[in-house]
């Protein structure tokens, strides 16, 4: 007899889901509540280069930066668009290993470039940072002292030289998380040895004013992932399963009646007495007679 599909055979439990899990969202390891793409953080650690802090010193001395925070942390305030990195397996084929078949196998792990977008400020701090980073990677070679801007403009046909990769590659962190700060669920990509490869041109035009954005493409070597479920106690077992504390339902409403003991029949609540029209619930009797349903106030 042919093997039935899992959805028909229900060998995996039938993929049943309780209705309460749909609105409580407290199933194990984070539940089924969808994640949103507008809560994230991007941080660049310019001091993580293997050859020292030359890159961070160059950016700090070049950019107009009046803040005690590191440039990468301050820059994270202005990131308007980010991407969770992807990966790709490059494959190769073998023909004839099995008669009449062409088989593929993984050959290389590829990490495509990512594009990150930042808002530009009135002092163009974002532009200064990435222009300084690119200038640090490939500084101009005038055949002598670099000099100031006026000296550079007078030079003809300067060359470019490239620094060693260890001096300009640094680490990035991209974290996507939820709003529940007391019990956060997040995923963090630790991107290793990244550097900018392209600063995409930002258009300027007369007419309706719009925010200037700077989009930068980054190449990197690899990344590692850290994840935490909505329940901070959720852990991954060696067999691949997830262990988490029992789902917690909503807090009990103190106004709800206590549950009845087993075998006890509910009794009909007593009908409240009808109060006189000139008496309120506190027992106060108005000497003016029945209280009106509406009050009207007139100004003299």
Residue 289 resides in a domain: no
- 296 domain residue, yes or no: no
For residue 48, report the phi and psi dihedrals to the nearest 5 degrees.
Answer: -95, 10
Q: Are 68 and 80 in contact (CB under 8 A)?
A: no
Please compute, for residue 128, the number of CA atoms within 13 A of its CA located in the half-sphere on the CB side: 18
**Closest to 194 (Cα-Cα) out of 29, 49, 24, 23:** 49
> Which helix (DSSP H) or strand (DSSP E) does residue 92 occupy?
strand 88-95
In-domain check, residue 112: yes
Q: Give the integer Cα–Cα distance in Å for 34 and 83.
A: 17
CA-nearest of 28, 44, 128 to 79 is 44
Q: pTM here?
A: 0.67
pLDDT in tens, the chain (300 residues): 567 666 666 655 555 666 655 555 555 544 667 778 888 999 999 988 887 788 888 888 887 766 677 888 888 889 999 999 999 999 999 988 888 889 999 999 999 999 999 999 888 889 999 999 999 998 877 665 565 666 666 667 677 888 999 999 999 999 998 877 667 788 999 999 999 999 998 889 999 999 999 999 999 999 999 987 765 455 555 565 555 554 444 444 444 444 455 555 555 555 445 555 555 545 555 555 554 444 444 444
pLDDT of residue 296: 44
CA dist., res. 126 & res. 74, Å (int): 10
In DSSP terms, which residues pair with 116 in a beta bridge? 216
Q: Is residue 67 part of a domain?
A: yes
Determine the pLDDT at residue 250.
40
40 near 176, Cβ under 8 Å? yes
d(CA 180, CA 217): 31
Q: How many helices (H) and strands (E) does the chain have?
A: 7, 13
Q: Kindly provide the residue ranges of all beta strands, DSSP E only, lying in 201-267, ordered along the sequence.
A: 213-219, 222-228, 235-236, 242-243
The answer as to whether 66 is a domain residue is yes
Number of folded domains in the chain? 1
Structure tokens at 51: 């050859």
Q: What angle do CA 37, 38, 39 make, to 5 degrees?
A: 100
Task: Give a yes or no: residue 293 inside a domain.
Answer: no
Tell me the pairing of strands 159-160 and 79-81: unpaired
Distance CA 295, CA 67 (A): 61
Bridge partners, residue 104, by sequence = 93
Tell me, yes or no, whether 135 lies in a domain: yes
Q: Which domain holds residue 201?
A: 36-228
CATH number at residue 183: 2.30.110
Question: At what angle are helices 54-62 and 125-137 packed, to 10 degrees?
Answer: 140
Residues belonging to the chain: 300
174 CB-contact burial (10 Å; exposed 0-12 / middle 13-18 / buried 19+): buried
Cα 41 from Cα 210, distance rounded (Å): 23
- Among 113, 230, 218, 225, which Cα is nearest to 174's? 225
64 found inside a domain: yes
């Amino acid at each position: 007899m042919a093997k039935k599909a899992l959805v028909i055979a229900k060998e995996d439990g039938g993929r049943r889901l309780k209705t309460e899990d749909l609105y409580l969202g407290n199933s194990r390891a984070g539940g089924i509540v969808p994640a949103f793409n507008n809560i994230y953080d991007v941080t660049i650690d310019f001091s993580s280069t293997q050859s020292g802090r030359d890159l961070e010193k160059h950016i700090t001395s070049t950019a107009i930066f009046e803040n005690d925070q590191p440039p990468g942390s301050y820059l994270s305030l202005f990131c308007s668009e980010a991407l969770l990195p992807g990966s790709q397996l490059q494959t190769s084929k073998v023909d004839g290993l099995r008669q009449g078949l062409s088989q593929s196998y993984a050959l290389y792990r590829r990490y495509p470039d990512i594009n990150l977008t930042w808002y530009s400020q009135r002092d163009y701090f974002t532009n200064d940072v990435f222009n300084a980073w690119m200038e640090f990677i490939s500084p101009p070679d005038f055949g002598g002292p670099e000099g100031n801007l006026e000296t550079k403009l007078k030079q003809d046909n300067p060359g470019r030289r490239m620094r060693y990769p260890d001096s300009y590659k640094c680490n990035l962190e991209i974290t996507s998380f939820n709003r529940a700060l007391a019990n956060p669920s997040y995923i963090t990509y630790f991107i290793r040895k990244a550097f900018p490869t392209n600063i995409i041109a930002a258009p300027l035009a007369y007419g309706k004013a719009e925010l200037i954005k700077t989009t930068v493409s980054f190449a990197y070597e690899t990344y590692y992932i850290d994840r935490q479920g909505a329940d901070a106690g959720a852990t991954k077992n060696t067999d691949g399963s997830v262990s988490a504390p029992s789902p917690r339902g909503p807090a009990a409403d103190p106004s709800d009646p206590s549950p009845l003991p087993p075998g006890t029949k509910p009794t009909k609540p007593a009908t409240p007495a009808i109060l006189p029209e000139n008496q309120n619930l506190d027992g106060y009797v108005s000497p003016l007679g029945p209280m009106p349903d509406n009050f009207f106030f007139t100004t003299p």
